[in-house]
Structure 1
Amino acid sequence: MVRVALVNLASLPMPGNEPIFPIGLRCVQDALDSAGHQTRLIDFVEDPSAVDDLSWVAEPWDAIGFTIRNIDPIEISCDSHVEHYERFLGRVRAALDGHGRHPLLVGGGPGYSLFADQLLARLGFDVGVIGPGEQVMLDILDAPEQYRRLGKNITGRRYGGFMTKALRHPKSLMEVYSHFEGAMIGLETRRKTCYQGCVYCPYAYINGDNGGDLKPLELIAEELRAIHASGIRRVFFTDGIFNSELRYAKEVVGLLTELNLPGLTWSAYFTPKPFDDEFAELLAGSKVEFVVISPDSLDDHVMKLLGKTFDTRHVDRCLERCRRHGIPARVNIVFGGPGEDRESVRNSIQYVNSKLEDGELVMHVGYRVLPQTGMARQLGIPDGDLLAPTFYPFHSETFSWIIQDLDNRFMPPEALFNLMAARSSSKRMAKVPLPAHSHQPAPTEFSYLALSRQLPLA
């Protein structure tokens, strides 16, 4: 038996940070508890005083694990979280030294996985975990002294407990997160790499090879009942694409309808195909809060360059089915991707103005370039140089084109304020050159790369 503290760095108070329930860390904790280890989850939403007093550091831990969900909020107008993590870890190490304690320090989480090589030494971890953490943490804790000062990252692998045991969360943690306005909790139904090849998306790298596990319906039902009993009434299925395997998605939706938990609503990320009439009918009877689709552009040429496996015809059909069955929809658009120009912006906005209803548009500007993505390869930027918030090149007039063309009904004061803040931030960003020669040149007409802010060094 090993004593382990698991620290949710995603709950640190930081500008631009909006803490969400720590599903990933709870998966690791549950796996360790099931193996007989003694654990404590340190969450700064549940215990705000733990940020400053660090009293938990004095306990006789054999290991302390730290999870990083985000490196930055991926919004142009927000800064990196890395310096906040550095300062906090520095305080933790100083407190440990003061108490004469030297537990094994382990880093992990999706944000950490993307920049593991850069963050391992910078944050002072003995060992890091890339990808899913349950099985690797079990391996590490079987012989923690072997990993002390290892200075390496280990790739995660499949955890069999995902298929055999329902994930039940502590009542106190559920209660504190249920007090947020519009409280929502995530739930995994599958661990399978997304089949789509979107050039900006690192999920395949983060998730690793999990053997394509689909959680048994009886375990999903048990988790949903527990969530409902806690008082939380909104669930978000955290699958990369909920309906990527339509047969299984229909089974999960049928389960939601069968359970009929009073007041419980749910949502997820969907793709416009496969999305047939039977699926839409099932969704309509399941209390789905909204269907979230992410074409990211509504210009077919830009969609193709983004790596989408569908085009605006499929978006049309999906929205038509949603409306016919009374299903609310949200359509995510991110301006400023590969090949974006005045014409493509106009095409996307013409689609929005003519075909979307009030409240359906979710709009952003700028693609955060992340390691291990097609976008990073196109630009020829080494992974290590992407730790500072770095955005794909886009025309400086993009903001003006949006404001000029978009109907006012899609531009409430909050959206306009966010757009202006993003434009102001983009003007302050450093410019770095595009590669002069590349086997995979960036598919854009513009000769400059906007946008790598400088990250303060440790």
Structure 2
Amino acid sequence: MGGNQPIFPLGVRCVQDALDRAGHVTRLVDFVAEPEKLVELEWLGSDWDVIGFTIRNIDPIDITCGTHVDEYIAFAERVREELGRRGLDPVLVCGGPGFSLFGSTLVDRLGLDVGVIGPGEQAMLDIAKDPGSFKGRGAVIHGRRHPGFLTDTLRHPASLMAAYTNAYRAMIGVETRRKTCYQTCAYCPYAYIDGDNAGDLKPMDVLADEIRAIHRAGFRRIFFTDGIFNSELRYAKQVVELVRELALEGLTWSAYFTPKPFDDDFGEMLHGSGVEAVVVSPDSLDDTVMRNLGKSFGTQHVVRFLERSRKNDLPVKVNVVFGGPGETRESVRSSARFINENLADDELVMHVGYRVLPATALARQLGMGDDQLLYPTFYPFDLDVFNWVIQELDSRFLNPGLMMNLMAGRASARKMARARNTPVLAPAPGTTFLPLASRGSGNGCDR
């Protein structure tokens, strides 16, 4: 899909591995490895009991206000038509993080027999054991704990690995644990997607085998896919120590971090571990807006995090998104002041506007249901935010890439329809805007 960097299909490989170990016959059709299969549907011709699809992204990452929803609907319709032409009637299943956000809505729109929210291994084992019992149900089921996560080394097919190592600066995800995120960020649906998972920690020997195999396949960059890598500091330290002990030539890694907990020992361990970027997402650097966003830390923790990072020469990336709940002229000035005084030119990653997703505090504030959020809908914010950011940030941050991002965001924001109801934490009525979902237009910001 345009607007997304190809990302190795870690989740669906976990599902396939579980099915293979249980004795099922599987085939993985990956549209990066085999792009022609997206158009040519002859792979549907075998008499499969179950065909599963995975959706990672609902929206493009790099295209403002775009959506993949209509493309997914059209593709599913083509698949159903081709199966009907061939006289085949397998159970159609869908899962994946993007799907999980809108499971109930997408099951109907895609014409599926069943949808899976959250981790899919155990659910797919149940479906494959008795496909007929799921036919025609249009049901949504929640994934649950899969014991194999703790015992089974995940080794990927060489052909699939080769398709992704060919990409420039190819990166692959590595899952070290499964635990519901403890943070309560107002915009984030991770806890909903992960489900009720008390916290399986992958044993170091299993993790080591997976990392060695990834390195042998030619990957030199890995991303630990934990929602927050250091939320359990003791285990995070074990993973970092493992990477240091493996000492694989040229291997670098990155992850999402939180400024708290982040102690001196951890900072020292990260130094020389091959960490490519220590990425934190305060999202605002104004304490009032940070509280509105549900952050479990404040600017004082970000300051201490930066001090420890500087002390250990750690590469840092700080994500800031302007336009959150309660964003005002003064809060933008406050965040910009912090950025100007504390960040180097290449350490800021900046965006404007929060995409509202189901099962989040922002969705509850707006009183919008899942079906209303399927097409891109952004939290109301004052359009002057774009001007305030440019006025308050030091010119050293206003590079061509950031300016193009701002201009594209402002152009899309001007297409937004004025919101009728303003949530309590939003700016005053008359200055707030909300893009309303257009149905079937292919772009949620058309009208």
TM-score band w.r.t. shorter chain: over 0.9
Query: Which of these residues, 74, 99, 116, is aligned with residue 86 of structure 2?
Result: 99
1:454 aligns with 2:441: no
Give me the identity figure in percent: 60
Query: Which of these residues, 374, 380, 383, is aligned with residue 393 of structure 1?
Result: 380
1:378 aligns with 2:365: yes
User: Tell me, what secondary structure is at the counterpart of 2:307?
Assistant: helix
1:43 aligns with 2:27: no
**Matched residues in 2 for 1:229 and 1:431: separation?**
54
One-letter amino acid of the structure 2 residue matched with residue 391 of structure 1: F
1:160 aligns with 2:147: yes
Q: Which moved more, 1:334-343 or 1:17-26?
A: 17-26
One-letter amino acid of the structure 2 residue matched with residue 387 of structure 1: L
One-letter amino acid of the structure 1 residue matched with residue 232 of structure 2: E
Q: CA deviation at 1:285?
A: 2.5
Partners of 1:76 and 1:366 within 8 A in 2: no
**Matched residues in 1 for 2:329 and 2:61: separation?**
24
1:181 aligns with 2:168: yes
Query: Which of these residues, 61, 76, 79, is aligned with residue 89 of structure 1?
Result: 76
Residue aligning to 1:369? 356
**Matched residues in 1 for 2:61 and 2:172: separation?**
21
Residue aligning to 2:18? 31
Q: CA deviation at 1:274?
A: 0.6
Partners of 2:271 and 2:313 within 8 A in 1: yes
**1:38-73 Cα distance to aligned partner (Å, 9 max, x none):** 111111110011011111111221110011111113
One-letter amino acid of the structure 1 residue matched with residue 175 of structure 2: E
Residue aligning to 2:426? 444
Structure 1 gaps of 5+ residues are: 1-13, 436-440
**Matched residues in 1 for 2:71 and 2:4: separation?**
11
Partners of 2:324 and 2:379 within 8 A in 1: yes
Query: Which of these residues, 185, 188, 192, is aligned with residue 198 of structure 1?
Result: 185
Against the structure 1 CA distance between its residues 268 and 317, is the aligned structure 2 distance closer, same or farther, given a 3 Å change threshold? same
1:246 aligns with 2:228: no
1:418 aligns with 2:405: yes
Residue aligning to 1:268? 255
Q: CA deviation at 1:442?
A: 3.4
**Matched residues in 1 for 2:305 and 2:172: separation?**
26
User: Tell me, what secondary structure is at the counterpart of 1:174?
Assistant: helix
**Matched residues in 2 for 1:75 and 1:391: separation?**
16
Residue aligning to 1:143? 130
1:282 aligns with 2:264: no
**Matched residues in 1 for 2:201 and 2:60: separation?**
30
Structure 2 gaps of 5+ residues are: 443-447
Partners of 1:80 and 1:455 within 8 A in 2: no
Partners of 1:74 and 1:368 within 8 A in 2: no
Q: Which moved more, 1:71-80 or 1:175-184?
A: 71-80
Against the structure 1 CA distance between its residues 74 and 178, is the aligned structure 2 distance closer, same or farther, given a 3 Å change threshold? closer
Query: Which of these residues, 320, 323, 328, is aligned with residue 341 of structure 1?
Result: 328
**Matched residues in 2 for 1:69 and 1:446: separation?**
36
Residue aligning to 1:10? none
One-letter amino acid of the structure 1 residue matched with residue 425 of structure 2: P
Query: Which of these residues, 388, 391, 396, is aligned with residue 404 of structure 1?
Result: 391
Q: How many positions carry a matched residue from both structures?
A: 440
Q: CA deviation at 1:288?
A: 0.7
Residue aligning to 1:438? none
**Matched residues in 2 for 1:75 and 1:311: separation?**
29
Query: Which of these residues, 77, 102, 105, is aligned with residue 115 of structure 1?
Result: 102
Residue aligning to 1:52? 39
Residue aligning to 2:296? 309
One-letter amino acid of the structure 1 residue matched with residue 126 of structure 2: D
Partners of 2:321 and 2:350 within 8 A in 1: yes
Q: CA deviation at 1:131?
A: 1.1
Q: CA deviation at 1:15?
A: 3.1
User: Tell me, what secondary structure is at the counterpart of 2:427?
Assistant: coil
* Deviant stretches of 4+, over 4 Å: none
**Matched residues in 2 for 1:363 and 1:26: separation?**
32
